[in-house]
A = this chain, B = another copy of it.
């Protein structure tokens, strides 16, 4: 009799977004004429840059002719793309990454979710809290999280609280930990870590024999020239870190799907025999066995982001979103709210006013301003008391939402 993976039954259901949808539906039924504005969105809304559109068309034409048709490509990505990544995303910042240390994929969600497969089932995982849920859920499925308590905390996960009190800078684990997921610029808090803070993590990982799973999906939003864009800008990281990068928020690829993961040849973990095994070879084996590469034409599209026009067009879109983030940030501050993030990230993380938890503020914002955001509690226990808004909306709608918050939100 076939048996399921019981770990799946330990997942919490996708409560956050279904509960948001339920409350919106209820509100709209009661107020059919209210014009809702969604500022909770974590998805690109601007069109693909023209240079990418042009490259996609050219690649589609190639696929339609026998002489230029492409079948199976390299599972880990075409060299025409990995060479551009190595040069522009790393070389230009003084970091040496070889093209074959870059694994192109269909998205950072897949990579961040799948990478844990390379580790033993009893590895100890640390997560910042609040956190992007995929890091947790993929480890719950693999049996590394243990059992959830009544508040949804798993007994084998090491949580690293990120709150206003510590400047959203996660503390180092104070016990044994094998794998740590770090995401900077951070979703949802919008925080970044400077060079010294990243160095502290690399040094800790080297001494603890731990691996850093570094999610840099929002690096293109960094404005401060002193903030590293890659963990590999920190000395010693090649031995202890892998890095997830994505075109989703950099080039509007949330619906077009292309990303990459950097696994330096130097990063290792131990076999049960004690032998140090390079994660590079394991990830290569994982990807070549369970994945067949991102579509040729999508990789051609992604390549166009590295042309001068592509760079300029992508930069314009990022500035558009970051301008929205400033509009929100400034508006909320004027409205008397305490606001974090939004300077080096498209995410604004605000403190809910005294007396309101994050769902209470959700209802207040919905009822008084007809604006939808995301309750911080949806990202973890330490997200309680916070609320996420984003710069990914339409400019006019963002301005209208902020005007409503300023004029309608009751103090």
Residues of A within 8 A of B (CB): 1-6, 8-9, 11, 14, 43-48, 50, 53, 56-57, 60-61, 63-66, 69-73, 106-107, 109-110, 113-114, 117-123, 134, 137-138, 141, 178-179, 208-211, 252, 254-257, 269-272, 277, 279, 282, 285-286, 288-298
Contacts and interface: CB of A to CB of B under 8 A. Distances in A.
What 3 pairs between A and B have smallest CB-CB spacing? A1-B209, A113-B290, A53-B64
B292 A257 contact: yes
Given A46-B66, A47-B64, A271-B9, A290 B138 contact: yes
Given A285-B8, A286-B141, A295 B256 contact: yes
Given A64-B48, A271-B6, A254 B56 contact: no
A202 to B, nearest CB: 14
Nearest to A278: B4
Nearest to A210: B2
Contacts of A277: 4, 9
A21 to B, nearest CB: 14
Given A3-B123, A69-B46, A109 B291 contact: yes
A78 to B, nearest CB: 10
B47 A66 contact: yes
Task: Identify which of A53, A119, A255, A279 gathers the most chain B CB atoms within 10 Å of its CB.
Answer: A255
Given A50-B64, A60-B60, A63-B48, A292 B107 contact: yes
Contacts of A9: 271, 277
Contact of A1 (B11, B47, B178): B178
- How many chain copies does the complex carry? 2
A3 to B, nearest CB: 4
B291 A71 contact: no
A50 B121 CA distance: 48
Contacts of A69: 44-48, 252, 255
Given A8-B286, A257-B294, 9 more contacts: A1-B210, A2-B211, A9-B277, A43-B72, A53-B64, A57-B60, A70-B255, A72-B255, A110-B290
Contact of A137 (B118, B254, B257, B289): B289
Contacts of A296: 255-256
Contact of A119 (B4, B282, B286): B4
A359 B123 CA distance: 42
A4 B120 contact: yes
Given A2-B269, A14-B288, A289-B113, A295 B257 contact: yes
8 contacts: A5-B282, A43-B72, A46-B69, A56-B60, A71-B254, A134-B290, A137-B289, A295-B298
B141 A270 contact: no
A73 B255 contact: yes
A289 B57 CA distance: 31
Contacts of A279: 4
Most buried by B among A2, A5, A46, A53: A2
A4 B57 contact: no
B71 A118 contact: no
Contact of A53 (B48, B60, B298): B60
Nearest to A50: B64
A209 to B, nearest CB: 4
Contact of A61 (B53, B285, B292): B53
